[in-house]
Homo-oligomer: A and B are copies of this chain.
Amino acid sequence: MSGNSFGKLFTVTTFGESHGIAIGGVVDGCPPGLEITEEDLQVDLDRRKPGTSRYTTARREDDEVQILSGVFEGKTTGTSIGLLIKNKDQRSQDYGNIKDRFRPGHADYTYDQKYGSRDYRGGGRSSARETAIRVAAGGIAKKYLKEVHGIEVLGYLSQLGPVTVDKVDHSVTNTNPFFCPDESKLDALDEYMRDLKKSGDSIGAKVSVVAKNVPVGLGEPVFDRLDAEIAHAMMGINAVKGVEIGDGFDVINQKGSEHRDTLTPEGFSSNHAGGVLGGISTGQDIEVHMALKPTSSISVPGKTINKDNEEIDIVTKGRHDPCVGIRAVPIAEAMLALVLMDHLLRHRAQNTGVLSTTKPIAGQA
């Protein structure tokens, strides 16, 4: 497979299938001296974990992460950090019936064609369950970014089907099961999701992430631009079909005189660029948006083929999110944190000095 690692200097490598023994990963490249506990990582894992509301899958997983190495007496040592989450609620028998058939919109067909066979239980490696480790690894990055540079990474739901978010109040995001930052839309979301669930169908969503207090200078042109790596990270999240930085697709019909962000002695006067120019962070907020397709596993009957290439009827049983976009919020935050962390280290490698935002870690030279 050889595609299970992300990052050049702050590297996350993951393993594990939806219904295997465990999922896990290795974080390599974390600087020494960072105070980190399993509880620190659990916060975001709990935000992502299934079974927390009636609008996400009914599968119940504690998603308790264990730190197996790389932390000694409460601090990172600079060595690789092993992470493990045991799988518990593996109702694999639900999946026996999809063994020989390919669910439309799923990775069943492509995995089968690529590898000659697949672990079909719960989607195996293609399941979003794998992203729990990304969230844990992202938690380490988030803590470092916050402690050493004061950087904050904040995600939220910006659209769900026809329901758009008009106002972003980050203090609202985590008070509701939709990660919606606009209190006035909670009732509409609730109603929409209730109807949707009844119908057995699913819906797409738009998720946004913003990073605040990012120092100017992160990103390595020309191929490893900050925005290019963000696009890689976000499009690598299950179900994502589009990624935007700043104004995104709106730029198609913008004039240059309208789009360019004026620099003033007090800073930029607007942020159409979304915090990146020439692939390098400008010091403004990094603004990222992404589109997530509706879940493919729905109970609306459909047609598909089986391994013998025969047409068959299909209704996906099992427990699925009617809108995968919702739980993608902490995943998107984690991925943005991983990109920023990696580029922070890469930037640091090139310069003899210390970034102006850096705060000392105890025990560091």
Let me know if A114 is at the binding interface, CB within 8 A.
Answer: yes
Let me know if A189 is at the binding interface, CB within 8 A.
Answer: no
Contact partner of A124 among B23, B77, B81, B246, CB < 8 A? B77
Rounded to whole angstroms, the CA-CA distance of A11 and B5 in the bound complex is 10
Nearest B residue to A276, CB-CB: B110
A204 and B311 form a contact (CB under 8 A) = no
B348 and A364 form a contact (CB under 8 A) = no
Q: Can you list 26 residue pairs at the A/B interface with Cβ under 8 Å?
A: A1-B350, A4-B221, A4-B222, A5-B5, A14-B80, A15-B69, A15-B79, A15-B81, A16-B69, A22-B68, A26-B26, A104-B263, A106-B277, A159-B253, A229-B232, A241-B248, A244-B291, A256-B294, A256-B300, A257-B302, A265-B311, A345-B350, A348-B348, A352-B364, A352-B365, A354-B354
How far, in Å, is A56 (CB) from chain B's closest CB?
A: 15
Contact partner of A15 among B82, B106, B297, CB < 8 A? B82
- Chain copies in the assembly? 4
Interface residues of A in 1-35 (CB under 8 A from B): 1-6, 8-11, 13-17, 20-26, 28-33
A79 and B349 form a contact (CB under 8 A) = no
Let me know if A143 is at the binding interface, CB within 8 A.
Answer: no
Per-residue CB contact flags for chain A residues 220-262 toward chain B (1 = under 8 Å, else 0) read 1111110111111111101011111111111111111111111
Rounded to whole angstroms, the CA-CA distance of A161 and B251 in the bound complex is 8
B residues less than 8 Å from A250 (CB atoms)? 291
Let me know if A162 is at the binding interface, CB within 8 A.
Answer: yes
A78 and B241 form a contact (CB under 8 A) = no
A220 and B161 form a contact (CB under 8 A) = no
Per-residue CB contact flags for chain A residues 99-116 toward chain B (1 = under 8 Å, else 0) read 000101111011101111
B residues less than 8 Å from A124 (CB atoms)? 72, 77, 79
Let me know if A333 is at the binding interface, CB within 8 A.
Answer: no
A39-47, A57-65, A174-182, A278-286: which lies at the interface = A278-286
B residues less than 8 Å from A162 (CB atoms)? 253
B residues less than 8 Å from A302 (CB atoms)? 257, 260, 262
Contact partner of A22 among B1, B82, B114, B148, CB < 8 A? B82
Per-residue CB contact flags for chain A residues 155-166 toward chain B (1 = under 8 Å, else 0) read 000010110000
Let me know if A326 is at the binding interface, CB within 8 A.
Answer: no
Rounded to whole angstroms, the CA-CA distance of A353 and B184 in the bound complex is 47
- Asked, given contacts A111-B280, A364-B353, whether A252 binds B222 with beta carbons under 8 Å apart, the answer is no
B residues less than 8 Å from A4 (CB atoms)? 26, 28, 79-80, 221-223
Rounded to whole angstroms, the CA-CA distance of A233 and B304 in the bound complex is 33
B residues less than 8 Å from A173 (CB atoms)? none
Contact partner of A280 among B30, B114, B119, CB < 8 A? B114
- Asked, given contacts A69-B21, A114-B216, A116-B32, whether A13 binds B26 with beta carbons under 8 Å apart, the answer is yes
A294 and B254 form a contact (CB under 8 A) = yes
Nearest B residue to A233, CB-CB: B228
Contact partner of A256 among B21, B202, B233, B274, CB < 8 A? B202
